[in-house]
């Protein structure tokens, strides 16, 4: 294995020339993107630097409380992103999404760190935080697609669902098709990702490992673990959120509470 | 208060007592009471906005009553279990709701529910009713989405009748039908009422239906909101 190739400040400055090049093109073609490019570049540097120092601090502290705090902050942002995309919502959607992302993320990370990578303790920041980051990024997409599909279906097909209830279907029987469709839709991007990985694109994590000097085969093994982990977390997340939404939107009188679903 | 001439000859199959109902967060009717006896067809009339559809939805338990009691054969609706109750007190909405599937699959679907696990799909009767109601027995395999609104309305009615409910709650059951089809629908429902004691609450705007076809009617008075309009 090659040693990790360190990047000096001068080397980083050279990389910055690439973004300057973009700016020059923008000016030459009068695209008027220079300002956004500049803001984007500065934000990239600042955000990543801050994350870098935060991670360095957290890794050094090795405190389960700090790891938990950071995890919850990450889940909070992921929840906002997942719920913010949906055009329809219901009371409690945020709390349910937060619980779903926390549970599916921690459970899957636990399996990977404790059983696959075999880190002790399983919540070691160096492993848990990057894994949670990848999981949250993936499952928030799955969850927001599943929620969107479910809420749209329950709104558009309310007359069919209520017809089924009116003919003696239980809430579960009437809701089964929309619930299935929601989980299925939420899972599709992840499954598609597994279909094309390595052919159409090289995953960022694997590329990063290779650039940092890892053996490609080792990087591939890690990537396989990551892909399966992301699938499991997304499946778990989509199933959990649709079940929680079902429990919220159908009551024990076997009614669809259509009034709870509102446009935003 | 609804007007109801309760017959005392038989025990009512369905008793609605002092029912208050709400739509859009507003109470639209208070204290509606009606007893429906086996074989009895009761028209539910009233001006637009008086809550006729809401009344039927509340009776079958698709939405909660603000107040009041609903008894099926002297047992509260909830005591039957909601799925079992709704299978017996069955709502057919004005807008026919059919799946993207064949007519036969639509008619079979309710027999797959747990609440109907002891019943088998009576295909012969389904075919006979399709014929009798003028939809055509040969349409069993047709994609339901290709039917006209009137045909869909009749298929919805047949789907409900096949479950042999005790009470049918029909919301404008003939709104999309021509005169001949209306007569056919009335005949089939009246036959079921006479032969096996099917009772029905029928929301209608038609005075003719309320007075000639149904045995009696209840009137939901207009709400202040409706009067203001």
Count residue pairs from A and B with Cβ separation < 8 A.
Answer: 68
pLDDT digits (tens, 9 = 90+) for B171-209: 999 998 999 999 999 999 999 999 999 999 999 988 888
Question: Residue A38: pLDDT above 90?
Answer: yes
Task: Check if the beta carbon of residue B43 is closer than 8 Å to that of residue B204.
Answer: yes
Q: What mean pLDDT comes out for the span B58-87?
A: 96
Question: Residue A190: pLDDT above 50?
Answer: yes
Strands B167-171 and B199-203: parallel
Question: Residue B228: pLDDT above 60?
Answer: no
pLDDT digits (tens, 9 = 90+) for B2-29: 444 444 557 899 999 999 999 988 999 9
Q: What mean pLDDT comes out for the span B54-80?
A: 96
Question: Residue B215: pLDDT above 90?
Answer: yes
Length of chain B: 229
Nearest to A179 by CA among A232, A245, A236, A235: A245
Substitution target from A168, A252, A258 for chain B, most B beta carbons within 10 A: A168
CA angle B96, B123, B133 (to 5 degrees): 50
How far apart (Å, rounded) are the C-alpha atoms in residues B184 and B154? Answer: 10
How far apart (Å, rounded) are the C-alpha atoms in residues A188 and A172? Answer: 23
Residues in chain A whose beta carbon is closer than 8 A to a beta carbon of chain B?
Answer: 159-160, 162-170, 173, 253-256
Substitution target from A153, A156, A160, A166 for chain B, most B beta carbons within 10 A: A166
Residue numbers in A near B78 (CB within 8 A)? 253
Of B86, B114, B116, the CB nearest to A166: B86
pLDDT score for B227: 37
The mean of the pLDDT values for chain A is 92
Tokens for A64? 């389960």
How confident is residue A203, by pLDDT bands cut at 50, 70 and 90? confident
pLDDT score for B147: 97
Has this prediction a pTM greater than 0.90? Answer: no
Which segments within B122-198 are labelled E, that is strand?
A: 167-171
pLDDT digits (tens, 9 = 90+) for A141-182: 999 999 999 999 999 999 999 999 999 999 999 999 999 999
Q: Do A255 and B159 lie within an 8 Å CB cutoff?
A: no
Measured between CA atoms, how close is B118 to chain A, in angstroms? 13
Which residue of chain B has the CA closest to A252?
A: B82
Residue numbers in A near B116 (CB within 8 A)? 168
Q: Do B93 and A253 lie within an 8 Å CB cutoff?
A: no
pLDDT score for B4: 44
Bridge partner list, B44: B203, B218
Which residue of chain B has the CA closest to A171?
A: B83
pLDDT score for A84: 87
Predicted complex ipTM = 0.92
Which residue of chain B has the CA closest to A160?
A: B97
Residue numbers in A near B56 (CB within 8 A)? none
How confident is residue A2, by pLDDT bands cut at 50, 70 and 90? low
Q: What mean pLDDT comes out for the span A216-220?
A: 91
How confident is residue A85, by pLDDT bands cut at 50, 70 and 90? confident
Of B64, B93, B112, the CB nearest to A163: B93
Which residue of chain A has the CA closest to B107?
A: A167
Question: Residue A127: pLDDT above 70?
Answer: yes
How confident is residue A213, by pLDDT bands cut at 50, 70 and 90? confident
Length of chain A: 264
Of B83, B95, B97, the CB nearest to A168: B83
How confident is residue B34, by pLDDT bands cut at 50, 70 and 90? very high
Q: What mean pLDDT comes out for the span A236-245?
A: 97
Q: What mean pLDDT comes out for the span A219-237?
A: 92
pLDDT score for A1: 47
pLDDT score for B223: 62
Task: Check if the beta carbon of residue A143 is closer than 8 Å to that of residue A100.
Answer: yes
pLDDT digits (tens, 9 = 90+) for B123-155: 999 999 999 999 999 999 999 999 999 999 999
Q: Do A159 and B97 lie within an 8 Å CB cutoff?
A: yes
């Amino acid at each position: 294995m090659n040693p990790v190739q360190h990047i000096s400040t001068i080397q980083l400055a050279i990389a910055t020339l690439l973004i300057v090049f973009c700016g020059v093109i923008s000016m030459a073609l009068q695209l008027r993107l220079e300002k956004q490019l500049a803001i984007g570049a500065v934000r990239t540097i600042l955000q990543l630097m801050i994350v870098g120092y935060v991670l360095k601090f957290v890794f050094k502290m090795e405190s389960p409380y700090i790891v938990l705090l950071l995890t919850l902050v990450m889940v909070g942002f992921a929840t906002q992103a997942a719920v913010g995309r949906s055009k329809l919502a219901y009371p409690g959607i945020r709390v349910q999404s937060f619980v779903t992302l926390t549970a599916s993320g921690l459970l899957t990370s636990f399996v990977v760190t404790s059983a696959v990578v075999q880190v002790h303790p399983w919540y070691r920041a160096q492993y848990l935080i990057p894994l949670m980051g990848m999981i949250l990024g993936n499952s928030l997409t799955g969850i927001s697609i599943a929620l969107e599909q479910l809420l749209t279906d329950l709104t558009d097909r309310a007359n069919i669902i209520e017809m089924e209830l009116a003919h003696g279907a239980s809430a579960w029987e009437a809701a089964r098709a929309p619930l299935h469709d929601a989980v299925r839709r939420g899972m599709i991007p992840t499954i598609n990702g597994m279909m094309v990985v390595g052919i159409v694109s090289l995953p960022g994590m694997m590329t990063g490992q290779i650039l940092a000097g890892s053996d490609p085969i080792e990087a591939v093994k890690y990537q396989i673990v990551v892909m399966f982990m992301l699938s499991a977390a997304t499946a778990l997340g989509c199933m959990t959120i649709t079940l929680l939404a079902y429990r919220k939107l159908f009551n024990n009188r076997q009614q669809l509470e259509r009034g709870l679903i509102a446009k935003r | 208060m609804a007007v109801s001439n309760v017959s005392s000859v038989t025990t009512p199959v369905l008793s609605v007592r002092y029912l208050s109902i709400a739509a859009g967060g507003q109470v639209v009717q208070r204290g509606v009471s009606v007893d429906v006896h086996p074989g009895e067809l009761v028209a539910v009339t009233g001006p637009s906005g008086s809550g006729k559809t809401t009344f039927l939805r509340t009776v079958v338990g698709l939405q909660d009553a603000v107040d009041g009691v609903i008894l099926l054969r002297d047992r509260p609706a909830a005591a039957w279990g909601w799925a079992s109750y709704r299978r017996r007190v069955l709502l057919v909405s004005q807008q026919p709701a059919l799946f993207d599937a064949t007519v036969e699959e639509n008619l079979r679907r309710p027999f797959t529910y747990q609440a109907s696990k002891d019943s088998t799909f009576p295909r012969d009767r389904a075919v006979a009713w399709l014929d009798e109601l003028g939809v055509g027995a040969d349409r069993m395999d047709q994609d339901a989405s290709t039917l006209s609104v009137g045909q869909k309305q009749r298929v919805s009615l047949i789907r409900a009748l096949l479950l042999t409910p005790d009470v049918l709650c029909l919301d404008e059951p003939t709104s999309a039908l021509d005169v001949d089809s209306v007569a056919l629908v009335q005949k089939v429902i009246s036959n079921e009422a006479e032969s096996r004691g099917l009772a029905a609450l029928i929301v209608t705007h038609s005075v003719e239906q309320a007075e000639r076809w149904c045995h009696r009617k209840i009137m939901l008075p207009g709400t202040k909101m409706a009067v203001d309009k």
